[in-house]
């Protein structure tokens, strides 16, 4: 059972009131099915004065629960100001039988350093301007699609625990999808790391403020599909 790649990938390959370029606050629900198990995921975007708070929670239901808990959560805080979106802080925890991980990271843009802890062990890693994490890159893409920027992201650096990885970003065109929310016109965007053979594709729905409605995570020659099942506007 390869649930770890899809959870990590989803979480790959997201002011007091949002600006026009930002989606309204929302909570989206997703599901994936494989080998008699169900992965249920909830993803939210909320706004605070000068900040965006994104979160993701995922858990597995099915026979794997006989072996213990399989759960993941992420929370990201992003600065939202005249300079644009900037990653400030992220928290990541994963629980599975016999192994758990908790990572907390803060970005100091004045020094260009990310300081954090992984299971209590401190780390420090330099970051370049524009470095994002798994969730904030989704929000940046949504903002780009809403504003129609002339030169969208072509690559992105993403902090992953105590290291930074670079991914290529490809806008692959439009596609009409049949979803549980109805037929939707979407834009497909793929984030790839060709060296590791990893890809995360997301379909952003135009009529839903470009909220992603499907994710495909590719790793080890397999593709894992996560589809939207519900959407609540706050």
Task: State how far the Cα of 117 lies from the Cα of 185, in Å rounded to an integer.
Answer: 41
pLDDT band, residue 2 (cuts 50/70/90): low
- Output the pLDDT for position 137: 94
| CA–CA separation, 170 and 141 (whole Å) | 11
* Average pLDDT rounded to a whole number, residues 44-63: 89
Spatial contact of 191 and 200, defined as CB atoms under 8 Å apart? yes
- The Cα–Cα gap between 216 and 57 comes to 18
- Average pLDDT rounded to a whole number, residues 146-154: 80
Q: How far is 26 from 62, CA to CA, in rounded Å?
A: 28
In this prediction, residue 34 has a pLDDT band, given cuts at 50, 70 and 90, of confident
Give the residue from 175, 169, 160, 173 showing the smallest Cα distance to 214.
Answer: 175
Among 56, 227, 57, which Cα is nearest to 137's? 56
Strands (E), 35-83: 37-48, 51-61, 71-81
Quick check: 43 pLDDT over 80? yes
With 60 as the cut, is the pLDDT of residue 95 above it? yes
d(CA 192, CA 204): 17
CA–CA separation, 14 and 12 (whole Å) = 10
Is residue 109 very low, low, confident or very high in pLDDT (cuts 50, 70, 90)? very high
- Give residue 1's pLDDT: 47
Band of the pLDDT at 69, cuts 50, 70, 90?
A: low
**Alpha-carbon span 85 to 50, nearest angstrom:** 10
| Mean per-residue pLDDT, 202-217 | 96
Q: Where do the H-state alpha helices sit in 73-186? A: 136-147
Total residue length of the chain: 234
In the chain, how many H helices and how many E strands? 2, 14
- Looking at every residue in the chain, the average pLDDT score rounds to 86
What H or E segment, with its residue span, contains residue 6?
Answer: helix 3-10
- pTM for the whole thing? 0.86
- Assigned CATH topology for domain 3-233: outer membrane lipoprotein receptor (LolB), chain A (2.50.20)
Q: Give burial (CB, 10 Å; 0-12/13-18/19+) of 29.
A: middle
Distance separating alpha carbons of residues 190 and 212, to the nearest angstrom: 12
pLDDT band, very low/low/confident/very high, at 15 (cuts 50, 70, 90): very low
Annotate 77-108 with DSSP letters as a single string.
EEEEETTEEEEEEEEEEEEETTEEEEEEEEEE
For 111-130, the pLDDT digits (tens) are 999 999 999 999 999 999 99
Pick 220 or 11 by higher pLDDT. 220
Q: How much is the average pLDDT of 53-78? A: 78
pLDDT band at 150 (very low <50, low <70, confident <90, very high): low
Is pLDDT at 63 greater than 80 in this prediction? no
Residue 62's pLDDT band, with cuts at 50, 70 and 90, is low
pLDDT in tens, 153-178: 789 999 998 899 999 899 999 999 99
């Amino acid at each position: 059972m390869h649930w770890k790649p899809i959870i990590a990938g989803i979480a790959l390959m997201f002011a007091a009131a949002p600006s026009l370029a930002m989606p309204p606050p929302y909570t989206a629900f997703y599901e994936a099915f494989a080998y008699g198990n169900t992965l249920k995921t909830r993803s939210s975007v909320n706004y605070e004065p000068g900040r965006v708070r994104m979160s993701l929670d995922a858990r597995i239901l099915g026979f794997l629960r006989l072996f213990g808990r399989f759960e993941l959560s992420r929370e990201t805080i992003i600065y939202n100001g005249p300079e644009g979106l900037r990653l400030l802080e992220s928290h990541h925890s994963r629980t599975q039988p016999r192994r758990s991980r908790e990572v907390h990271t803060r970005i100091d843009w004045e020094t260009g350093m990310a300081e954090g802890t992984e299971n209590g062990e401190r780390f420090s890693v330099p970051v370049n301007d524009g470095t994002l994490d798994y969730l904030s890159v989704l929000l940046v893409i949504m903002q780009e699609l809403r504003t129609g920027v002339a030169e969208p992201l072509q690559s992105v650096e993403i902090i992953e625990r105590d290291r930074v990885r670079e991914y290529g970003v490809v806008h692959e065109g439009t596609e009409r999808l049949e979803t549980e929310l109805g037929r939707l016109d979407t834009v497909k965007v793929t984030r790839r790391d060709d060296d590791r053979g990893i890809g995360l594709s997301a379909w952003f729905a135009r009529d839903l403020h470009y909220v992603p409605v499907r994710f495909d995570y590719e790793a080890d020659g397999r593709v894992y599909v996560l589809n939207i099942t519900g959407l609540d506007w706050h």
